[in-house]
Structure 1
Amino acid sequence: MEYRTLGKSGLKVSEIGFGAWAIGGDAWGEVDDVQSIKAMNHAFEMGINFFDTADVYGDGRSEKLVAQLIKGKRDQVIISTKGGLLGHTRKPEPIYDKPEKVIKAFEDSLTRLGVDYIDVYFCHIWWHVEEETLAFLEAFERLKQEGKVRAVGVSTDNFDYLKTFNRNHSIDVLQVEYSILNRAAEKEILPYCQQENIGVVVRGPLQKGLLTGKFTKEMQFAGNDVRQHWERKWFEEQVDKVEMLKQFKREGRTLGQLALQFVLSHPAISTAIPGAKTDKQVEENALASIRPLLTNEESDFIQQHFFL
C-alpha cells in the first residue's frame, strides 16, 4: 500500500481508503455486521489506514461498526466522519444554523465511534445556506482549538460552494466525486485544491459499481439500493461506456482496479474511498495500489473517449 499526505493537514493516508456507507445498511442492500467488521479488519491488514463514515449512514450504524475496528489500534487508524445530513430535510433551509448544533452532532459521532478525537470532520451539506456555512466554520474553529479534531473540510461537488466554505483558507480537506465516468472535478475543483493545498478524498471512484464492469443493461436493483433510482437510459449508456474499457483488462488487474488507478493518477488526489462489504471487495480495492498506475495508452484512451 502506498501512502500520501492529506493536503495541509499533514496526515499520512493510504491512497486506497475504506468507504463505510454501504455497511450502514440503509442504501446498498442487506449487510451483515460481523462480515462488515471482518472486511474492515482485512482492509487494515492490507495497509488501509483511512476509514470514512458519516453519522447519517444507517442512522449511526456505520459509525458504531467503525468503532469496533478502532479498538486497540486508535493511533494506527485515521478516521473521517461527516455531519449535517442527519435529521436534515435536504432542502435549502437552515437546520444546522448554530455552531452548538454542529458541535452536538460532532459529540454524538465521538460517542458512537468511542473516541475522544476525530482525525477528519466534514460538513456533509453540499448546498450553500449562509447560516449553516458560518455555523460549521465556527464549530470547526472551536473543535480544532479544543484538540477534538485534526482536520476539517466539506463534502461537495460544487466549486462555488467549496470556495465559499474556504473563504478564509479555513478548510484542510475536500471530499468530492470523481471517476472515469465523472471527470467534472478536473475542470476547476482539483486545480483549486492543488493551489490551496487542500487534501482530496475521492468518493464514487467506481461510480457506484459501474466501473467494475460487472453490470449488464438488464441489471435490476431492488430494496433500499440507491441505484434503483438511476434513470434507465443513463444507466444503459454508462454500461456501453464501460464496455469500451474492457480492452484494458489484463491478468492481475481488474477493471475496477483500472478505475481506481485512473483516480490515483491525478496529482491532486490524496485517497480514494471505494465502498466494500466483503473481504474480496476489500482485497480487490487495496490491490489497485500498485505501480505503474496507468500506461500512456490507457491514459490517452480515457482522455479521448471519456469527456469532462
Structure 2
Amino acid sequence: MEQRLLGKSELMVSEIGFGAWAIGGDAWGPVDDEQSINAMSRAYELGVNFFDTADVYGTGHSEKLVSELIKGKRDQIVLSTKGGLMGHSRKPEPIYESPKKVIKAFEDSLKRLKTDYIDVYFCHIWWHVEQETEAFLTAFEKLKDDGKVKAVGVSTDNFEYLKEFNCNKSIDVLQVEYSILNRSAEKEILPYCLEENIGVVVRGPLQKGLLTGKFTKETTFTGNDVRQHWDRKWFEHQLEKIEKLKELERENRTLGQLALQFVLSHPAVTSAIPGAKSTRQVEQNFGASVRPLLSKEELEYINLINPVK
C-alpha cells in the first residue's frame, strides 16, 4: 500500500483509507458489527493505516466499532473523526456556537474511541455560520496546543466556505466529495488545496457504490439506505455513463479500482476513503493501490464520458 504525506501535517497516510460511515448502521442498509470489525482488521492487514469516522455515524456506533480496531495498535493508525453534525438541525441557526461545545463533542468522541488523542479532527458542518466557524477554529487551536490533535480540517464541497475556514492558513486537511461522476472539485477546490498545501481526503470516490458497476436500472434501495432518495432519471443517466466506462475494465482492474485510481491520479489528492462493510470489499479497494495508475489516454477517455462542468 502506497503512503502519502497529508498536506502540511507530518502524517503519512495510506492512499486508500477506510471510510467508516456505512458500518455505523444508520444510512447504508443492514450491517453486521462482527463483519464490520473483520473488514477493518483486513484493511489494516493489507496496509491501510488511515481510518475515518464521525460522531454522527450511527450516533456514535461507528466510533465505538473503530475503537475495537485501534485497541493495542493505536500508534500504528492515523485516526480521523469529525464533529459538528451530532444534534444539529442542519439549519442556519448555530448549534456549536462556542469553542466549549466543540471541545465537548471532541471529548465525547475520545471516550467512544477509547483514545486520548485524534490524529485528524474535522469540522463536519459544511455550510457557513459565522459563530460556528469561529468556534471550531478557536477550538482547533486549543486542541492542537494541548496535544490532543495533530491536524485539523473541514469536510465541505463549498469553495467559499473552505476559504473562510482557511482564512489564516488555519487548516491542514480538506475532506471533499470527488469521483469520476462528480468532478466539480477540479474547478477551484483542488487547485486551491495544491496551492495552499492542504491535504485532500476524498469521500465518495465510488459515488455511493455506483462506480462499482453493480447496479442496474432495476435496482431499488429501501429501508434506511440514503440512496433511495436518488432521482431516478439522474440514476439511469449515470448508469449509461458507467456502461461506457466499463470499456476501461481490465482482467486485473475492476471498474471500482479504476474509479479509485482516477481520484488518486489528481496531484492534489492524498487519500481516498471508500466505505466497506465486508472483507471482500476491502480487498477490492486495496487492489487500486498499484502502479502505474491511469494512463494519459485513459484519463482522456474518462474526460469524454464525463467532462468537468
TM-score, normalised via structure 2 length: 0.99
Correspondence for 1:236: 236
**Residue 199 (1) aligns with residue 199 (2):** yes
Say which SS state the counterpart of residue 119 (structure 2) adopts. Answer: strand
Correspondence for 2:23: 23
Say which SS state the counterpart of residue 143 (structure 1) adopts. Answer: helix
Correspondence for 1:273: 273
Kept in 1, the 8 Å contact 2:50–2:79? The answer is yes
The percentage of counterpart residues that share the same residue type is 76
Matches within 5 A, 1:142-221: 142-221=142-221
1:201 and 1:277 map into 2 onto residues whose CA distance is: 20
Q: Deviations over 1:114-138 (max 9, x none)?
A: 0000000000000000000000000
2:303 and 2:15 map into 1 onto residues whose CA distance is: 22
Matches within 5 A, 1:265-304: 265-304=265-304
Correspondence for 1:255: 255
Correspondence for 2:50: 50
2:190 and 2:6 map into 1 onto residues whose CA distance is: 14
1:192 and 1:205 map into 2 onto residues whose CA distance is: 20
Say which SS state the counterpart of residue 23 (structure 2) adopts. Answer: helix
1:302 and 1:247 map into 2 onto residues whose CA distance is: 10
2:271 and 2:229 map into 1 onto residues whose CA distance is: 28
Kept in 1, the 8 Å contact 2:17–2:49? The answer is yes
Q: Deviations over 1:1-56 (max 9, x none)?
A: 00000000120000000000000000000111011000000000000000000000
Deviation at 1:305, TM superposition (A): 2.2
Give structure 1 stretches of 5+ with no counterpart: none
Correspondence for 1:141: 141
1:286 and 1:75 map into 2 onto residues whose CA distance is: 22
Deviation at 1:295, TM superposition (A): 2.0
Cα root mean square deviation, aligned: 0.5
Q: Deviations over 1:93-115 (max 9, x none)?
A: 10000000000000000000000
Say which SS state the counterpart of residue 161 (structure 2) adopts. Answer: helix
Deviation at 1:307, TM superposition (A): 1.6
Deviation at 1:296, TM superposition (A): 2.2
Matched to 1:159, the amino acid is F
Q: Deviations over 1:174-226 (max 9, x none)?
A: 00000000000000000100111000000000000000111101110001000
Matched to 1:265, the amino acid is S
Matched to 2:119, the amino acid is D
Matched to 1:270, the amino acid is T
The alignment of Structure 1 onto Structure 2 pairs a total of residues equal to 308
Correspondence for 1:132: 132
2:257 and 2:233 map into 1 onto residues whose CA distance is: 26
Matched to 1:226, the amino acid is V
Q: Deviations over 1:143-193 (max 9, x none)?
A: 000000000000000000000000000000000000000000000000100
Correspondence for 1:39: 39
Moved over 2 A (4+): none
Matched to 1:238, the amino acid is Q
Matched to 2:307, the amino acid is F
Correspondence for 1:14: 14
**Residue 62 (1) aligns with residue 68 (2):** no
Kept in 1, the 8 Å contact 2:245–2:305? The answer is no
Matched to 2:98, the amino acid is K
Deviation at 1:283, TM superposition (A): 0.4
Deviation at 1:304, TM superposition (A): 2.2
1:202 and 1:70 map into 2 onto residues whose CA distance is: 22
TM-score, normalised via structure 1 length: 0.99
Deviation at 1:255, TM superposition (A): 0.3
Deviation at 1:297, TM superposition (A): 1.9
Deviation at 1:254, TM superposition (A): 0.4
